[in-house]
């Protein structure tokens, strides 16, 4: 049985991120600055280059890789919850190169913004806190 909690939409924040900024760090800073602790996120735009993660389910470790070229953000989707009492952004991203080939993965620091339009929808609900999960080795929601 899936574990679900009811949440309610509260506010929408819409804006853009600055050229040359780290994509994940900027989203996190936006959430910290607005005291956002529960939200969903979407964004489109472009990056100068990207660093993504792939979670290896055998070793229970992230493998990080860099895509060293300009790319379109064809989709970024994520959420904000709480880890160790701080807002934590978890986002996945799909990127396209000049031929339209797509890359995707877990957004990591080291992805640099060319231009980015972001929408953050804040939510009211219980605290979704991340705790270490033995089975997966991941910080999952403690709900």
Torsion angles phi and psi, residue 29, rounded to 5: -65, -40
Q: With respect to Zn ion, which residue has the nearer C-beta, 19 or 132? A: 132
Task: State how far the Cα of 7 lies from the Cα of 110, in Å rounded to an integer.
Answer: 32
89-94: long-range contacts, CB 8 A cutoff, minimum separation 24? 89/24, 89/27, 89/28, 89/31, 89/41, 91/24, 91/27, 91/41, 93/50, 93/52
Q: With respect to Zn ion, which residue has the nearer C-beta, 51 or 106? A: 106
| Binding region for Zn ion (CB under 5 A) out of 40-48, 78-86, 106-114, 126-134 | 106-114
Q: How far is the CB of 19 from Zn ion (least distance, A)?
A: 26
Which residue blocks in 4-46 are alpha helix, DSSP H? 23-33
| Binding region for Zn ion (CB under 5 A) out of 17-25, 68-76, 102-110, 127-135 | 102-110
Q: Which of 28, 51, 106, 118 binds Zn ion (CB under 5 A)?
A: 106
Q: How far is the CB of 120 from Zn ion (least distance, A)?
A: 18
**Could you say whether residue 51 binds Zn ion (CB under 5 A)?**
no
Footprint of Zn ion (CB under 5 A): 106
């Amino acid at each position: 049985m899936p574990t679900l909690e009811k949440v309610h939409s509260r506010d929408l924040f819409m804006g853009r991120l600055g050229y040359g900024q780290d994509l994940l760090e900027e989203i996190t800073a936006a959430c910290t600055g607005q005291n956002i602790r529960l939200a969903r996120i979407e964004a489109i735009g472009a990056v100068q280059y990207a660093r993504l993660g792939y979670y290896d389910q055998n070793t229970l470790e992230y493998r990080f890789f860099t895509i060293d070229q300009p790319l379109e953000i064809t989709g970024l989707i994520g959420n904000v919850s709480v880890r160790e009492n701080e807002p934590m952004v978890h986002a996945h991203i799909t990127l396209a190169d000049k031929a339209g080939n797509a890359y995707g993965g877990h957004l990591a620091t080291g992805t640099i913004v060319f231009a980015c339009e972001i929408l953050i929808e804040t939510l009211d609900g219980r605290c979704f806190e991340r705790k270490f999960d033995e089975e997966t080795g991941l910080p999952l929601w403690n709900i």
